[in-house]
Chain A
Amino acid sequence: MNNLNQMICWRLCCIIATILLNSSSITAQVLQPLQPLPPIMFTEMNGTMTLDDGMELPIWGYGLSADGYITLPGPLLEYETGENVNLVFSNPSPESHTIHLHGLDVNQANDGVPTTSFLVVTGQNGAYNFTASQPGTFLYHCHVTTTLHLTMGMYGMILVRHPDGTLFEDGPTYHSDAPLLFSDLEIATNLAPVQSYPFHDIRPDYFMINGLSGSQLDSGPSILSCPFGSQLALRLGSMAYTRTRLIFPPSLNATCWMSDGRPVPTPFSADTLDIFPGERFTVLISPPSSTFDGTFEVQYWDMLNSQHAHSNFIRFRDASLSTPPSLTPPTIIIAPNPARNSITIPAIQPWTIWDLSGRQLLSGHSSTIDISTLPTGNFVLRTSSGSSPFVKY
């Protein structure tokens, strides 16, 4: 399938999903089929993540309906300053959930707190409406039995960009963003969340940056880069149970410009920066030479006894030393598409099929897939190497 077909298919999926979620908007959506549509978030409690040692660990989390799977952390939500946001949230999972928009100062109705806002119960949809009024780094997470749902993985980062390429009005310019979300979990809790009481004694024993740890951070998109002479904006946030401490080599000239979505009164050198749970910072760093290739350390400190619990390392180098990442996300070639009775994929491999509300409908291990039992509609096929939408007619 070429890129144009993929785009048309994706737009079609979004349109139909929006129609399904909000029947009152059918007319408007049909008349304006190519307008950008907001992504639909969903949540599930049947995901897995792979730890640094290869262990598969159960997670709960958020995902985009177009992808059909959840991740830890959830997808990065990106907005422009002043953007009016309609964040549609679908919950096919067995328990109620919410999205708390941490730090965005939304009103009570959209705050994502069950007792003061609203719950999205199993099988229902909700929508959060707010204006991203301030540029900066923010977070989101479930606020239902928060102590448990966070350690299970229900969180992500929100990035609100200032439109002119500066961090904020009259702020510094920068080359690009590098979101780094620090978190941790207690493996025993994820393995047996029902038995995880008491919640006051959660002791993290696995420590992550964007859901990765240890050697997982040594390759691919975890390696940060920026051209010599320009600055990389580190968007730093913590959803951990520990205090995170970043230690930058002085040669990176790490300078903190923002905290919690507001400029700090006086930017300061941030060679050592502590980030407590829920805090965010924006720090600019730059490679000291066109041949620079080094690391900075991320430490995790126990909040109870102030003891060092773990360290991860982030690699940072001049952009000339990095291979630019592919701009095309991995996809699976599905044929035919649309299809009525069966589809084929390139090789025999494990696959799952999801609907646009995030419900897994089929799974198997083959290259020819019988879809005759699916209702007419739009679906997502997922394998370990990527995902693609398809249409059943």
Chain B
Amino acid sequence: MNSIKLNILATAIFCLTTGSTIAQDTIWINSGEWMQSADTMPALRFNASAVFDTVNTSFNIQENNTWALTVINTDSVAHTFTITTSVIFTENIPAGEEVTFEVPALPFGTYRYYSSDERGEVLGLSGLIKVGINSDLQFHWNLADWMPSRMDSAAAGNPVDWNSGYIPRYFSINSHTYPNTANDPLGTVTMNLGDTCIISIVNGGFMEHVLHFHGFHVEILAATVQTSRVGWIKDTLPIHKGEGLTLQLVAAQTGVYPVHNHNLVAVTNAGFYPGGMLTMITVQP
């Protein structure tokens, strides 16, 4: 117990100095609530402390290095820490327990980590790992889609009916929906003319997403599913379920430009436009 408290303290200090993007070795599975418009939804998150935060924590680690991680599960059911690459890495985390394990080395890119337990998946246990990204200017977008009725059912302990109609009501970037996405320090791209930044994206949702950049084309540096597209320069990028993309953006002109899902049902909040998966890129002179 004492070691857990020390970990909480160390993590809290680390978070204060780095925001929520951390390279730490302990995370918590916390339960809480996520509020959007008129809906309050049960939520599970991977957090950097024992205090529930609606934003899943992200990791920034060096490429091709193994990595020791402790996961503390405060939920009432077992979860996993899973990474799907060309192989599946998964560790079971029993309810109320703490497990330490070694994460295998990963090549350069962006990866999704998640709980493969269906309650964990539906309630939002899905984060992002950046590997080998050393840029001073980097942002990340953890994409998700949410259906409140399915979340309520899963939170009540019911098995998820994956064959029932899926109609998500919210679409988020780093657990924020527009207009709150525009105030997200981890995801709102702000840069100066001529700067180059790296944008890491994972699709932690249950459907395919496709992001369109206004004002810019970006280069695909790495992809975990669409590997043949590395090196392509595009303005509209599909992200398959579970996929990680790593993009390079050069700020070639000044101004404020939207980036949004071009499956336009996903730029809504509870059916109202604009909302959802929409954020802004600001390039200053």
Q: A147-B273, A259-B232, A261-B235 are in contact. Are A111 and B214 (CB under 8 A)?
A: yes
CB pair A278 B236 closer than 8 Å: yes
Q: A147-B268, A277-B263 are in contact. Are A116 and B256 (CB under 8 A)?
A: yes
CB pair A199 B273 closer than 8 Å: yes
Output the residue of A145, A150, A200 with the most chain B CB within 10 A.
A200
Interface residue? B5 (CB, 8 A): no
Interface residue? B265 (CB, 8 A): yes
Q: How far is the CA of A248 from the CA of B214 in the complex (A)?
A: 31
Contact of B268 among A199, A241, A262 (CB under 8 A): A199
Contacts of B254 in A (CB 8 A): 108
Least CB distance from A115 to B in Å reads: 8
For chain B, the count of residues having a C-beta within 8 Å of the partner chain is 42
Q: How far is the CA of A243 from the CA of B167 in the complex (A)?
A: 17
CB pair B265 A200 closer than 8 Å: yes
Q: Chain B 199-211, CB within 8 Å of chain A: the 1/0 string?
A: 0000000011010
CB pair A148 B232 closer than 8 Å: no
Output the residue of B165, B166, B215, B267 with the most chain A CB within 10 A.
B215
Least CB distance from B181 to A in Å reads: 14
Contacts of B168 in A (CB 8 A): 200, 304
CB pair B215 A259 closer than 8 Å: no
Question: A77-85, A98-106, A219-227, A381-389: which lies at the B interface?
Answer: A98-106
Main DSSP-derived SS at the B contact region: loop
Q: Name B248-285 residues within 8 Å CB distance of A.
A: 252-258, 262-268, 270-274, 276
Which residue of chain B has the shortest Cβ distance to A262 in the bound complex?
B233
Output the residue of A102, A105, A151, A305 with the most chain B CB within 10 A.
A105
Q: How far is the CA of A34 from the CA of B279 in the complex (A)?
A: 46
Interface residue? A146 (CB, 8 A): yes
Q: Chain B 208-250, CB within 8 Å of chain A: the 1/0 string?
A: 1010101111000000000010011111101000000000000
Interface residue? B119 (CB, 8 A): no
Interface residue? B112 (CB, 8 A): no
Contacts of A200 in B (CB 8 A): 167-169, 171, 265-266, 268, 270-271, 276
CB pair B210 A276 closer than 8 Å: yes
Contact of B208 among A113, A151, A243, A262 (CB under 8 A): A243
Contacts of A303 in B (CB 8 A): 207-208, 263
Contacts of A202 in B (CB 8 A): 264-265
Contacts of B208 in A (CB 8 A): 243, 276, 303, 306
Contacts of A277 in B (CB 8 A): 210, 236, 262-264
Q: A274-B238, A304-B167, A305-B166 are in contact. Are A199 and B233 (CB under 8 A)?
A: no
CB pair A278 B215 closer than 8 Å: no
CB pair A262 B217 closer than 8 Å: yes
Q: How far is the CA of A261 from the CA of B217 in the complex (A)?
A: 9
Question: Given known contacts A116-B256, A199-B273, what 6 new A-B pairs fall within 8 Å (CB)?
Answer: A103-B235, A146-B264, A147-B264, A198-B272, A261-B235, A304-B207
Q: Which 4 residue pairs of A and B lie closest in terms of their CB atoms, listed nearest first? A: A198-B271, A108-B255, A278-B262, A278-B236
Q: List 21 A-B contacts (CB under 8 A).
A: A100-B214, A102-B212, A105-B235, A107-B253, A107-B255, A111-B255, A145-B273, A146-B267, A151-B264, A198-B271, A200-B168, A200-B169, A241-B264, A260-B233, A276-B208, A277-B262, A278-B262, A303-B207, A303-B208, A304-B166, A305-B207
